Amino acid sequence: MADGLRPRLGTSTRYTLSDFDFDLPRELIAQAPAPERTKSRLLHVDGERLADFAFADLPGLVPAGDLIVCNDTRVINARVHAQKTTGGKVELLVERIVASDEAWVQLRASHTPQSGASLTLPGSAHARVVTREGRFHLLRFFATGPLDDWLERHGEVPLPPYIDRAPGDTDATRYQTVYARVPGAVAAPTAGLHFDAALLAALHAQGVAHEFVTLHIGAGTFLPVATEDLTQHRMHSERYRIPPETAVAVAATHVRGGRVLAVGTTALRALESAVDARGAIRAGDGETTLFVTPGFRFRAVDRLLTNFHLPKSTLLMLAAAFGGYGAVRAAYAHAIATKYRFYSYGDAMLLERVRASGDLTPKRDRIIVG
C-alpha cells in the first residue's frame, strides 16, 4: 500500500527528529493493563501547571456542556503465523483488508517472500504474494472464506512490539475499548482503554455530551520516523469517518462556549482532517495523512486525552504541538520521575491546548534527559 501523500505540517520547521528523543527506564513500559480500566493514573497538563489524578477523577475535570469525542474502531485479530514452502516461519500483520480475499500486510521473516511466493496459513488456507509497495505486501488469500471472519478464528490480538509477551486471554477484551464497534484497526486507540461503562455514565449524568468518530489505525503507526528533517516524513494513510451527528455536536459545543475533548490522537486527527475552509467539520468518509508538528493550527479540538508515547514518534510530536513543546517536555520528565506507566497499557495525560503560537524553539538537549 502506498505510504500516503505529502503530509500537512505545522508552521514550524525548526524541530528535528532528535528533539523528540528521550530516555525511558524499561520498567516503566507497561506490559499489562491496570487491574481495572479506571485504575490508571492521569496527569493534567495545563501549560506549566501539572497535577496528578486517578483516571476515575476525570468527571471532575470535564464540566457540563463539554463534548467528548471517542474513536469507536475495533481491533481485528491482525497477526497471523504462517510458513513458507521451504518451512521458514513468516509473521503476517494485516494492515488493511481491501477485498474479501485480499489484504495489504507487513511480512516479518528471515528472508522476505517475493512476489509469487506461496504461504501456508492456519485452517488449511494459503496465500500468495501479489506485489510489494514499500513496507507492505499485497496478499491474495485462498480457502479462507471472508477474510475478516477467518482472522477472527485464526489470527491473534496484535499487541504492540514493545509488549514482550504473547497475547493472553484478557487481551482480547482489554486491548479493545468498551465502545469498540467498527472492525478495522490493527492497533487500539489506547487513550480510550481507560474508560469503563460506569465512568461514561457518570460523565453523561453531569451533562457531558459524547459522540464518536471512526479512524482505523494501521500498522504504520509503529513505523519509525526515518529522517531528522521532519518535513521529509510521510505519514501512512488511514481511513476515517465523521458521522453527521458528531459534526453537528462539535459545532454546537463551540457555539455554546463548551470545549471539545478528543479521546486519543486518532480522534483528534480525524476531526482536524475533516475541518473545511470555513472551519466547520465535514461529515463523511475520508483518508488522512495528517502529520501534526509544533506550530500546527488546531481548529476542532480544545483538549486532548492521550497516553504517554514512544520517543521520536509522530504521536509525541502531536502531543507537543497540542500542549506546547516545553509543557510536554516537563510533563514527561515528571511522569518518569513519579513512575507513571508508559505506552499502550500505561497511564494517561489530559492536555490543555496551548493558547499561543509561540513555544517553537526546541531545547537541543532532547525533550527529556534522564
Coil/strand/helix, residue 50: strand
293 shares a domain with 202: yes
For strand 102-108 and strand 89-99, is the pairing parallel, antiparallel, or unpaired?
Answer: antiparallel
Q: How far is CA 212 from CA 106, 121, 168, 268, 290, in A?
A: 29, 36, 29, 11, 19
Residues 70 and 202 in one domain: yes
Q: How far apart are CA 11 and CA 357, in angstroms?
A: 9
233 and 149 part of one domain:
no
Q: How far apart are CA 247 and CA 249, in angstroms?
A: 6
Does residue 292 form part of some domain? yes
The predicted pLDDT at position 6 comes to 32
**The pLDDT of residue 311:** 95
Query: Is residue 241 located within the same domain as residue 330?
Result: yes
| Residue 175 and residue 144 share a domain | no
CATH of the domain at 89: 2.40.10.240
Residue 356's pLDDT is what?
A: 56
Give dist(CA 334, CA 339) in Å, integer. 8
The answer to the question of residue 230 being in a domain is yes
Residue 260 CA to residue 274 CA, distance in Å, equals 15
Q: How far is it, in rounded angstroms, from Cα 297 to Cα 305?
A: 18
Domain of residue 261 covers 17-75+171-352
Note the helical H segments in 236-324.
244-255, 265-273, 314-323
296 and 340 co-located in one domain: yes
The answer to whether position 8 is within a domain reads no
Q: Is the dihedral of CA 64, 69, 70, 73 positive or negative?
A: positive
Predicted TM-score of the model (pTM):
0.90
Burial grade of 58 (CB within 10 A; 0-12, 13-18, 19 or more) = buried
Shared domain for 200 and 309, answered yes or no, is yes
Inside any domain, residue 363: no
Can you list the residues of the chain whose pLDDT is less than 50? 1-13, 357-370
Residue 358, pLDDT score:
45
Q: For residues 68 and 250, is the Cβ–Cβ distance under 8 A?
A: no
- Do 77 and 152 meet the contact criterion of CB atoms below 8 Å apart? yes
Could you tell me if 71 and 120 lie in one domain? no
Asked if 130 and 32 sit in the same domain, the reply is: no
Instruction: Report the C-alpha gap between 184 and 219 in whole angstroms.
Output: 11
| pLDDT tens, position by position, 262-298 | 999 999 999 999 999 888 999 999 999 999 999 999 9
**By CB neighbour count within 10 A (0-12 exposed, 13-18 middle, 19+ buried), where does 331 fall?**
buried
